[in-house]
Structure 1
Amino acid sequence: VIGVKRRVHGGLRFTIPVSPFDRIRALKQECDRLVAQAPPDLPVLFEQVLRFERMIAASGVDSVPSHADGLASNILIGPDGRIELVDFDGAGNVDPYYEIGILINEVFEDEKDFLPALEMFEGTPRPASLRRARLYAIADDLAWGLWGLVMDATSQRKDVEFYRYGFWRFIRCRAALERVDFGSYARML
């Protein structure tokens, strides 16, 4: 999967940039407008994740064409082992560490497994790359948490547990944020 995503990175640029932080801001705005039962610490989670945007921007950002969707359901594996990516509605030019961050966040339960994936992605994993991918993974959890709340408020599909999905993503976001040392991350990006 990482190899397929890297091939997309080397392809022609898309016409639009993608910002995971713009997506978070848009979802937060929708959530504020529509959702009655948001977690009480949502403003804190939101502010902490937007600090990541400033930290990453201060370290410099290169963008590449990206699938920009780490959901496992958007990765097809054929009987011959051939891998295909589907659902390019979120595709655009984005920091490649966003792409790897959301992929490893979706695939691996434990952060200790992030290093081998990052090694496949860039050859020799660097601490700064790992930190950057982790920050994007945390931001992705916040985005999907917000999406779950918005979908719960707006979807006609009441048999889908959007609310529960959102809260599970918030739980993982909180847990990961507790492990972030903002001072060392800012120095090491």
Structure 2
Amino acid sequence: MTGTDTVRDTTGNRLVGGARNEAERSVEAALTAIEPWRGKRLEYAPVLGGLQNSNWRITVEGTDTRYFLKIPGAGSETFIDRALANEAARRAGELGIGPELVHFDAGTGVEVIEFLEGYRACTNGDFKDVAIPRQIIDIYRVLHSGELLTVTKTMFDMVDEHLAQAKDLGVRLPEDAELILGEYQVAKEALLASGLDLVACHNDPMPGNFLVAPGEPMKLVDYEFASNNERAYELALLTTEMFYTEERINELVEAFYGRTDFGLVARVQVCGALADVKWGLWACVNQQLSSSWDFDYHKYGCWKLMRARLKMTDPRWPFWLKAL
């Protein structure tokens, strides 16, 4: 038997004690800190996906269930309230729309949930099938119908937070940022004047956060950006992220609210522009926080802000604002 055989099992999983690099050492440190698993044989293997976090599949001696371990990426604490994310994830598990949460370390943000066997993460291609966003709306309906979370953080709080971060970090924004932010203020005043419809929101419809399996209900994961927020913003994030046509947006507004009219469509359209402002600023700030990202966040952020400006220059923009 070689030294390699003692630290790797027949499935290719790594055994605790055989870490070869910093990423694997961080996994082993996280696993050894979980009290109920101490003294047991633990195996781990990487799980692809996630822009910032390190994800791993965990096998624990003596259990039939495998687990999913998430280790937060460096700098992600700038944007994420770990206690709030844990609260939302626990509630989702209890409501049956997310996996069961089995461990959370408030100090490090390390989280362990059940590994959903047979499930896979959605891709952008999946969202071409209208059945997918309709399943998502069903999940949102369950999440939104529950009690409010302990923290309210609206899209305005998020945008204003990123603006402050951008100023503090000296982040370079597009030359037309002043125009975009001017329209943002107008939209903010109009929405606040109309009154916000606050519900518990997920706030992050990245395709990989939706898990599907044949014959099984869809599950929603990764509640790091969850908070109480405007109901329409949740749908606007989805329709904006997926580049849905106006015809599809109108269909989903009706599915989401049970009816459709110009006022509801206008609310989703305006919130869609704010979603691009929020995530555009987030990306520009994120790029400044670390030089190790294997992704051009600043380019992505500028593109998001450009798309927000495009919507704000739509001839219908003032009419959407008036209809709020």
Fold in common (TM above 0.5): yes
What number of residue pairs does the alignment pair up? 189
Instruction: State the AA in 2 paired with 1:169.
Output: K
Match of 1:68 in 2: 203
CA offset digits 1:99-127 (Å, max 9, x no partner): 11111111234333210111110122121
Return the alpha-carbon distance in structure 1 between the equivalents of residues 192 and 254 of structure 2: 23
Whether contact under 8 Å (1:18, 1:92) holds in the other structure is: yes
Tell me the equivalent position of 1:20.
155
TM-score normalized with structure 2 length = 0.55
Moved more, 128-137 or 63-72: 63-72
With over 3 angstroms needed to count, the CA separation of the structure-2 counterparts of 1:58 and 1:180, relative to structure 1, is farther
Q: Tell me if 1:179 matches 2:301.
A: no
Q: CA deviation at 1:180?
A: 5.4
What does residue range 102-141 of structure 1 map to in structure 2 within 5 Å? 102-141=237-276
Letter in 2 for 1:142: V
Cα offset, 1:14, TM superposition: 0.7
Higher RCO structure (Cα 8 Å, ≥6 apart): 1
Paired with 2:243 and 2:303, the residues of 1 have a C-alpha distance of 15
What is the rounded CA distance, in whole Å, between the counterparts of 1:158 and 1:95 in structure 2? Answer: 31
Query: 1:36 & 1:13 partners in 2: Cα distance?
Result: 34
Q: Which of 89-98 and 114-123 deviates more?
A: 89-98
> Within 2, Cα distance between the matches of 1:166 and 1:54?
24
Q: For the residues of structure 2 that align with 1:38 and 1:157, how far apart are their CA atoms?
A: 20
TM-score w.r.t. length of structure 1: 0.91
Task: Choose which of 139, 147, 150 in structure 1 pairs with 2:282.
Answer: 147
Partner of 1:38: 173
Give % identity.
Answer: 26
Contact 2:152/2:227 (<8 A) preserved: yes
SS in 1 for 2:211: strand
Structure having the higher Rg? 2
Structure with a larger share of its residues in strand = 2
Q: Flag structure 2 segments of 5+ consecutive residues without an equivalent.
A: 1-135
Shift of residue 54, structure 1, vs aligned partner: 0.8
Contact kept in structure 1, 2:269 and 2:320, CA below 8 Å: no
With over 3 angstroms needed to count, the CA separation of the structure-2 counterparts of 1:132 and 1:157, relative to structure 1, is: same
Moved over 6 A (4+): none
Equivalent residue, structure 2, for 1:161: 296
Residues 52-67 of structure 1: pairs in structure 2 closer than 5 A? 52-67=187-202
Whether contact under 8 Å (1:35, 1:149) holds in the other structure is no
Offset of 1:81 from its aligned partner?
Answer: 4.8
Relative to structure 1, the CA distance from residue 97 to residue 113 in structure 2 (aligned partners, 3 Å threshold; closer, same or farther) is same
2:63: which partner in 1? none
By how many angstroms is 1:36 displaced?
4.8
CA distance in 2, matches of 1:97, 1:119: 12
Q: Pick closer, same or farther for the CA change 1:52–1:115 going to 2, 3 Å.
A: same
For 1:17, give the aligned amino acid: T
**Cα displacement string for residues 107-156 of structure 1 (whole angstroms, at most 9, x for unaligned residues):** 23433321011111012212111111111111110111111111111124
Structure 1 residues 35 and 109: CA distance shift in structure 2, 3 A: farther
- Contact 1:108/1:114 (<8 A) preserved: no
- What is the CA–CA distance in structure 1 between the aligned matches of 2:247 and 2:189, rounded to whole Å? 26
Return the offset for 1:182. Answer: 4.8
Q: CA deviation at 1:3?
A: 0.6
Structure having the larger proportion of residues in helix: 1
Equivalent-residue separation in structure 2 for 1:66 and 1:180 (angstroms): 30
